[in-house]
Amino acid sequence: MERTAQKKGSRTAQRSDGRTGGKPDLPEREAALEILDKMLLIRHFEERAQEMYMKARIGGFLHLCIGEEATVVGAATALADTDYLMSTYREHGQALARGTDPKHVMAELFGREGGVSRGRGGSMHLFDSERRFLGGYGIVGGNLPLAAGVALASDYRGDDSVTMCMFGDGASNQGTFGETMNLAALWRLPIVFLVVNNQYGMGTALARHSAVTDLSKKAECLGVPGERVDGMDVLAVRECVAEHVRLAREERKPTLVEALTYRFRGHSAADPEVYRTKDEVSEWRERDPIELYARRLKEAGMLEDDDLAERDRRAIARIDEAVEFAEASPEPALESLYDNVYALGDQVQGWYTVDERTPEVHRGEDEHEVGATGTPQELAEAGAAYAGAGDVQKRRRARHGEDEHEGSDPADAAQKAGGGDSGRGLPSEDGS
């Protein structure tokens, strides 16, 4: 069944599965190959992140976008450098597509100072203000009203920047979805909503969690029209999103794009995937977005097999460098625990954070002074050792400039009692 799509050019007809009737035009060769390079970089980054997670180099949760590269890159490359992008907790690809150095993304996954959020955010909370990537969010649907606020700020400033908010199919059932769509339409905000429909809300199939399965229509009753696009075709996504960005920028018309895609891995790295069959996954893998796009480039005479192999090798080399950088990056100092919890200005000072881990209860904002010496510091080191949070002695030598020395230490004792790195095993899934 086909329906007419709201678009121009080669996107002439669109089926209910999101595939377009015609092929979108390829951009110039340099731009076309840059799209391929971004997709390859994201694929190899995610595969290596999975490996590092299994080796317990990455803690917390890990959500991979393998299989969704066309949606991520197609959408990101349709934006101007001055536009804003907000995403969900599955956002490694978005950061890389916006141009964030993979070294700093990988270091963030490792929880190191060299990360984009200085090790404070981890996998689900990447942030790069320089490239106007305003983060991933661990709360399903939590980024929707925030994105509307960013778009409202653009209106207040009177500039022509557009905000793109990417979210999953499950988030369309949250109360924030309807509230945000209503305000966006009411205030004519310069925003594009992109729902990444990978067919499952965690482990629940779309038809089992949403009464409306054509998500492009889900906000029409609130004044936000939508369009469905094949999320496995990077050029189709790019062309579709570019038109919706134009509508937001020039006509102040908020719209919704539904990208039909599929994640080849589980909801998270700890997902046993008992809710879908291997045959289903294999069928979607036949439409691997990178293979489809590479084939199109070859047909157009823009890519040869040797060139593809070389670009793939370069992407792998960049990820190798990213892992090396992350491994070498230091862990955050323990006394920096309360840094940047609140934005403190000239307002009345108070105990915005409170440290009660030791007998010397104190303001968290004073941790650099109180927590750097004496009993608070010794107990903090002991706790870090018990949790397996890095090399305690190495961190101490770096801070104090001391040579390696022998002797009893509370942290050493705690590390032995706690079984060394026992706290850095694989985490359990909590549904985040």
Closest CA to 71 of 25, 96, 98, 39: 39
Are residue 275 and residue 379 in the same domain, yes or no? no
Residue 19: CATH number of its domain: 3.40.50.970
Contact call for residues 20 and 229 (beta carbons, < 8 A) = yes
**How many separate domains does the chain show?**
2
| Residue 389: inside a domain | yes
Q: DSSP letters of 243-271?
A: HHHHHHHHH---EEEEEE---SS-SSTT-
Q: CA distances (Å), 115 to each of 54, 64, 127, 323, in order? A: 20, 18, 10, 12
Pick the closest to residue 92 from 54, 137, 42, 146 (CA basis): 42
Q: What is the pLDDT of residue 411?
A: 40
> Does one domain contain both 180 and 280?
yes
- Give me the pLDDT at residue 52, please: 96
| Gap between the Cα atoms of 230 and 306, Å rounded | 29
Question: 158 in the Ramachandran plot: left (φ > 0), alpha (ψ -120 to 50) or beta?
Answer: left
Any bridge partners for residue 230, and if so which?
Answer: 260
369 within domain boundaries = yes
- CA atoms of 325 and 319, how far apart (whole Å): 10
Do 270 and 379 have their domain in common?
A: no
Longest dimension (CA), the chain: 76
The CB density around residue 82, as the number of other CB atoms within 10 Å, is 11
Task: Give pLDDT, residue 256.
Answer: 98
Query: 403: domain range?
Result: 334-420
Instruction: Say if residue 301 is in the same domain as residue 352.
Output: no
Transcribe 187-198 into DSSP letters. TT-SEEEEEEE-
Residue type, 382: A
Q: Which residue has the tokens 């075709």?
A: 233
Cβ proximity of 238 and 78 under 8 Å:
yes
Residues 323 and 357 in one domain: no
Judge whether 224 and 196 are in contact, CB under 8 Å. no
Share of the chain above pLDDT 90, in %: 69
Q: Which of 289, 306, 328 is the last residue of a domain?
A: 328
Q: Say if 397 falls within a structural domain.
A: yes
Closest CA relative to residue 90, chosen from 206, 220, 201 = 201
Q: Which of 328, 348, 364 is a domain's end point?
A: 328
Please, how many CA atoms are within 13 Å of residue 395, restricted to the half-sphere of its CB? 24
**What's the pTM?**
0.83
In this predicted model, what pLDDT tens digit does every residue of 187-215 receive, in sequence order? 999 999 999 999 999 999 999 999 999 99
Strands 200-201 and 204-205: antiparallel
Residue with tokens 């002991």: 382
Is 432 inside a domain boundary? no
Residue type, 20: T
SS3 category, 428 = coil
Residues 187 and 321 in one domain: yes
pLDDT at 395: 56
Cα–Cα dist 378/333, whole Å: 13
Q: Are residues 257 and 361 in the same domain?
A: no
Phi-psi label, residue 157: left if phi above 0, alpha if psi -120 to 50, beta otherwise: alpha
Please provide residue 33's backbone torsions phi and psi, each rounded to the nearest 5 degrees.
-75, -30
Whether residue 224 contacts residue 11, with contact meaning beta carbons closer than 8 Å, is answered with no
The per-residue pLDDT for 346 is 72
384 shares a domain with 240? no
Low-confidence ranges of the chain (pLDDT < 50): 1-20, 403-432
What are residue 256's DSSP bridge partners?
A: 193, 226
Residue 174 lies in a domain: yes
pLDDT tens column, 374-403: 888 888 888 878 776 655 555 555 555 554
Q: Is residue 143 part of a domain?
A: yes
204-205 and 163-168 beta bridge pairing = unpaired
**pLDDT, tens digit, for every residue of 319-373?**
999 999 999 999 998 888 888 888 777 766 667 788 888 788 888 888 888 888 8
Average pLDDT, the chain: 86
Domain end point (choices 313, 328, 343): 328
| Residue 427 belongs to a domain | no
Whether 279 and 366 map to the same domain: the answer is no
Collapsed DSSP state (helix, strand, coil) of residue 20: strand
- Claim to verify: residue 240 and residue 388 sit in the same structural domain: no
Residue pair 133/100 in contact (Cβ under 8 Å)? The answer is yes
Output the pLDDT for position 319: 98
400 with 287, same domain? no
